[in-house]
Amino acid sequence: MLFPKSRMRFTTSYQGKDDPEGWIILDLTGADLEGVGKLYLSMEVIHTLKQGGDTSVDRLKQARALLGGDANEE
């Protein structure tokens, strides 16, 4: 199974740990994996995701701004 790029993202923090090398997150929500034995991830896509940076930080800032908080608060 070729894993869709739209269901992958990159993060630099996981379970309270920060690592600039980061982690790739595969969103398996709603995926029908019955009978799937292997997932193939393009290294080109992984490199592109990593270059794009950690989008979860941007989402947190957006949420804070929407709720009237300081978007730049760490």
For 30-42, how does the pLDDT look when each residue is reduced to its tens digit (9 = 90+)?
878 888 877 777 7
pLDDT at residue 54, as a whole number: 67
Q: Rounded distance, CA 3 to CA 49, Å?
A: 14
| pLDDT beyond 60 at 71 | no
pLDDT at residue 33, as a whole number: 81
Q: Rounded distance, CA 41 to CA 28, Å?
A: 14
Distance separating the N- and C-terminal Cα atoms of the chain: 39
Q: Is the distance from CB of 43 to CB of 25 less than 8 angstroms?
A: no
3-class state of residue 6 by DSSP: helix
Q: Domain locations in the chain? A: 5-66
pLDDT, one tens digit per residue, over 1-28 is 788 888 888 888 888 888 888 888 888 8
pLDDT at residue 57, as a whole number: 63
Phi-psi region of 68 (alpha: psi -120 to 50; beta: other; left: phi over 0): left
